[in-house]
Structure 1
Amino acid sequence: MTTVTHAMVLAAGLGLRMRPLTLERPKPLISVAGKPMLDHALDRVAAAGIETAVVNTHYKGEMIAAHLADRRSPRIVLSPEADLLETGGGIKRALPQLGTKPFLSINADILWLDGPTPAIDRLISAWNPDAMDALLLVHPAVAAFGYDGKGDFHMDPLGRLTRRRSGEIAPFVFAGVQILKPELFKDAPEGAFSTNLIWDRLLETERLFGMRHDGLWFHVGTPDSIAEVNQRLEERPSHSES
């Protein structure tokens, strides 16, 4: 199995749709299912045996830094951003801390429950650097709790992804977790940009792949959705966070 030793945890966003809650704290520190969403993400990273997590910060970054000050597993490296760099720009800025090998990237404001095998372990097992430059965890859009979009990707039997075209509905939504090669960002633009730019380049070479999540996945986008997610989890006969 490929060993992944570093994770990038994206925690710098403004969380505008989560206002007024994010007027007081950054979205990754909002509690869902008993603990902050950032802790859900970092607990998954630790459980996968990943040693180091680079956490980028911007909005109310001092609160995130204080929250993480005593955390030991995974080891936390902060990557503060004076200007918001978006997902791709944040990763590029953190490359010196992420090393030279493929790394995990995870959004700090998502929530999922694993199937029989943890999703991060499944991604690492499925990673094939000879064929792939990026491997995305994707979830069926129709089963994504709280999601009402048109989906992001189509996926062929080998896992190759293609974009939803304008006017189409695609069956899969990006679930916020992926494995990426660091060299993808070496010639990326300076400043703010989305990882969509990286994905678009890989789509041209057919090296963007997906893996279907086999557990539950929740889109936690607004204050109202927090109560809905908590209620959904409480209604599960024997839910766990694993």
Structure 2
Amino acid sequence: MSAVPETAMVLAAGLGTRMRPITDTRPKPLVEIAGRTLLDRGLDTLERAGVKRAVVNVHHLADQIVRHVASRASPAITISDETAGLLDSAGGIVRALPLLGAEPFLVLNADTFWIDAADTHNLAAMADAWDPAAMDMLLLTAGLADATGHSGGIDFTVDAEGRLARAKGAADGVIYAGAIILHPRIFDGAKPEPHSLNLYFDRAIAAGRLFGHRMRGSWITVGTPDAIPAAEDAVARAAAGRP
């Protein structure tokens, strides 16, 4: 069995424009769902998995996030400051690489979360599936039936070995669920300038080295203010053991 990486990058620097007017005065990761912020829900998941250290990038209303995470004892938080300029998903990671180290690490979106099925721990299962010899990136994925608040279609198709390819209108496949195990070698030569992880997804697909791990449980995304009630209902159903 493989251990969950001890270090994670938490992407918390986005503008959250679709969550306005809430995000005019509060960064999206600090939006509360059933009394717990989105950011804390993600950090709680990392803590349960044994992650020791999380690098959290900040930009929009950064001081609020910095103050908020200062009260957490675990995981230990390091801030990657992007207030001078937003770097997008990949640029933010490249900027933080000196803080993340040379070993494989987790990447977690701060604005989505999931609730593990009763008999599983998705990050531990994901770590068991991680094979750096065959993979550059392993994405946590979810089925449409397990998603709350998702307004789009599927993101990827999956072959018999678990390799991912862009869905391109396919009828069956999976959603990217906002968590990755990756090897930092994929960023060799990259500059800390604005660019998206989609570039690295496509490179890994072309090399046959992008894989998915299907989560078990409920995946929840909150894109707009009117999605909050559905998210809170999903949390309540899971707490009550209802589907």
Q: Is the 8 A contact 1:111 1:220 kept in 2?
A: no
Q: Is the 8 A contact 2:56 2:80 kept in 1?
A: yes
Following superposition of structure 1 onto structure 2, how do residues 186-225 of structure 1 map, counting pairs within 5 Å?
A: 186-225=188-227
Residue 129 (str. 1) matches residue 132 (str. 2): yes
Higher mean alpha-carbon deviation, 202-211 vs 225-234, is at: 225-234
Q: Is the 8 A contact 2:10 2:54 kept in 1?
A: yes
Residues of 1 paired with 2:128 and 2:200: CA distance?
A: 22
- Matched to 2:30, the amino acid is L
RMSD of aligned C-alpha atoms? 1.5
Corresponding residue for residue 106 of structure 1: 108
Report the number of matched residues.
239
Question: Can you give the 5+ residue segments of structure 1 that lack an aligned partner in the other structure?
Answer: none
Residues of 2 paired with 1:237 and 1:80: CA distance?
A: 36
Corresponding residue for residue 85 of structure 1: 87
Q: Give a deviation string over 1:50-93, Cα, whole Å, max 9, x none.
A: 11000000001100000011211000000010211011000010
Q: Is the 8 A contact 2:115 2:238 kept in 1?
A: no
Residue 160 (str. 1) matches residue 163 (str. 2): yes
Residues of 2 paired with 1:235 and 1:155: CA distance?
A: 29
Corresponding residue for residue 228 of structure 1: 230
| SS of residue paired to 1:84 | coil
Corresponding residue for residue 34 of structure 1: 35
Corresponding residue for residue 17 of structure 2: 16
Residues of 1 paired with 2:167 and 2:62: CA distance?
A: 34
Q: What TM-score do you get using the length of structure 1 for normalisation?
A: 0.94
How far residue 190 of structure 1 moved from its aligned partner, in angstroms, is: 3.9
- Matched to 2:163, the amino acid is R
Structure 1 residues 196 and 208: alpha-carbon distance in aligned structure 2, compared to 1, 3 A threshold: same
Equivalent pairs: percent with the same residue? 45
- Matched to 2:204, the amino acid is L
Structure 1 residues 36 and 204: alpha-carbon distance in aligned structure 2, compared to 1, 3 A threshold: same
Q: Report runs of 4+ in structure 1 exceeding 6 Å deviation.
A: none
Higher mean alpha-carbon deviation, 13-22 vs 168-177, is at: 168-177
How far residue 156 of structure 1 moved from its aligned partner, in angstroms, is: 1.1
Q: Is the 8 A contact 1:55 1:76 kept in 2?
A: yes
How far residue 149 of structure 1 moved from its aligned partner, in angstroms, is: 1.0
Residues of 2 paired with 1:104 and 1:7: CA distance?
A: 4
- Matched to 1:45, the amino acid is L
Residues of 1 paired with 2:222 and 2:69: CA distance?
A: 22
Residues of 2 paired with 1:235 and 1:170: CA distance?
A: 26
Residues of 1 paired with 2:240 and 2:123: CA distance?
A: 22
How far residue 237 of structure 1 moved from its aligned partner, in angstroms, is: 6.7
Corresponding residue for residue 2 of structure 2: 2
Structure 1 residues 235 and 134: alpha-carbon distance in aligned structure 2, compared to 1, 3 A threshold: closer
